[in-house]
Structure 1
Amino acid sequence: MKFYADRVPTAARQLITDLLIVFWIYLWVRVAIWVHDTVELLAVPGVKLESAGNGIADNLAEAGGKVGRVPLVGDELTKPFTGAADAARSIADAGHQQQELVDKLALILPSMAVAVPLALVLFLWLPLRLRWIRRASAAISVRDEPAGRDLLALRALASRPLSELTKLGPDIAQSWRAGDAAAVDALAELELKRLGLHRSKR
C-alpha cells in the first residue's frame, strides 16, 4: 500500500494536505465543543427557575400544612397556599422544560456545526486520496514488469493531454503499437510522473 509519492513535490503536497485536513477536523470539533458549552449556559436560568419554583412550592405546602391544623377554618385557609404552591410548581416545570430544550439544542447545533466540514472531508477529499493510493499501489506493483510498463504506457496514452504526448514525439502512439521499448518506457515514465512515482530501478 502506497500512501505518499516518491517525488518530493508531490509527497510534500500530499503531506501538507493531510495535515491541513487533520487540523480542519480538529478545528471544527473544537468549534462544536464550544457551541455545545455555550448553548449549555442557556440552561442555567432554567436550573435556577426550577430550583426556586420547587423551593417556593415546598415552603408553601409546608405552610399550608401548618395552617390546615387550625380548627374549623383550617381547610379554607389552606386553599391559597395550595394554589400558590401549584403555581410555583408550574414555574419549576417551565424551568425543567427549558433545560430539556437547551439539552436538545446542545446536541443538534454542534452536530450541525461539524457535519458539513466532515462531509466535505468524507465525500470530497477522502475519495480522491483513496483513489491515488489505489492507483499508485497498482502502478508500483506492475512498473518492474514489461507487461506492466506497457499498461502504464497505455494509461498515459489514454489519459494524458496531447500537449504532453507530442513532446515525446509525433509518432509516439505508432512507436508504442510497434512495441518500441524506448517509447513504452517514455510513456510509462509519464504516467509514473503524474502519480509522483519514480521509475523502476532495473
Structure 2
Amino acid sequence: MKLYADRAPTAVRQVVTDVLVVVWVYLWIRVAIWIHDVVEKLAVPGQKLQDAGSGIAGNLADAGGKVGRVPVVGDDLTRPFAGAADAARSLAEAGRQQQELVGKLALILPLIALAAPLALVLFLWLPLRLRWIRRAAVARSVRDLPAGRDLLALRALASRPLGELARMGPDIAQSWRAGDAAAVDALAELELRRLGLRGSRR
C-alpha cells in the first residue's frame, strides 16, 4: 500500500494536508476537552447546594430530635424542625439534580462540538485519501504492463481536460486507437503524473 506520491509536488501536498488534518482533529479535541471542563465547573454550585442542604437537614433533624424529648409539648415543637429539615432536603435534591444535568451537558456539548469537524474528516478527506491510495496502487501494479499502460492511456483520454490533450497533438486519440506506442506511453505518463507517480521502469 502506497500512502504518498512519488513526485515531490503531489507528495508535499499530501503530507501537508495530512498534517493539517491531524492538527485540525487535535485542536477540536482540545476544544471539546475545554468545553467539558468549563461545563463541569457549573456543577460546583449544585454540589455546594447539596452539601449545604444535607448539612442543614441533618442539623435540623438533630435539633428536632432533642426538642422532641421535651415532655408534653415535644411533639408540637418537633414539627417546625421536621418541616425545615424537609425543605433543606429538597434543596439538597435540587443541587444533586443540577449536578446530574451538568454532567450530562458535559458529555453532550463536547460531542456536538466534535461532530462537524470529525464528519468533515471522515466524509470528505478520508474518502479522497483512500481513493487516491487505491488508484495509485492499481496504477503502480499495471504501469509496466503493455495492457496496463493502454488502460492508463484510456483513463487519461477520458479524464484529462481537452486543452491538455490537445497540446499532445491534434490526433492523439487517433494515434491511441491505432495502437501507436509513443502515443500510448505519452498518455499513460500523463495519467501517472496526475496521480503523482513515477513513469514506467521499462
TM-score norm. by structure 2 comes to: 0.99
Give the match for residue 144 of structure 1.
144
Q: How does 1:90-129 map to 2 (within 5 A)?
A: 90-129=90-129
SS for the counterpart of 2:170 is coil
| Shift, 1:50, TM fit | 0.1
Letter in 1 for 2:21: I
SS for the counterpart of 1:179 is coil
Equivalents in 1 of 2:8, 2:200: separation in Å?
17
Letter in 2 for 1:43: A
| Shift, 1:167, TM fit | 1.0
Give the match for residue 32 of structure 1.
32
SS for the counterpart of 1:147 is helix
Equivalents in 2 of 1:80, 1:2: separation in Å?
79
| Shift, 1:32, TM fit | 0.1
Letter in 1 for 2:183: A
Letter in 1 for 2:33: I
Q: How many residues were matched structurally?
A: 202
| Shift, 1:110, TM fit | 0.4
Question: Does 2:70 correspond to 1:79?
Answer: no
Give the match for residue 181 of structure 2.
181
Question: Does 2:20 correspond to 1:20?
Answer: yes
Q: Percent same amino acid among aligned pairs? A: 79
TM-score norm. by structure 1 comes to: 0.99
| Shift, 1:2, TM fit | 1.3
Q: How does 1:61-76 map to 2 (within 5 A)?
A: 61-76=61-76
Equivalents in 1 of 2:92, 2:123: separation in Å?
46
Question: Does 2:175 correspond to 1:198?
Answer: no
SS for the counterpart of 1:95 is helix
| Shift, 1:70, TM fit | 0.8
Give the match for residue 52 of structure 1.
52
SS for the counterpart of 1:115 is helix
Q: Name stretches of at least 5 consecutive residues in structure 2 with no aligned partner.
A: none
Equivalents in 2 of 1:92, 1:68: separation in Å?
24
Equivalents in 1 of 2:33, 2:161: separation in Å?
47
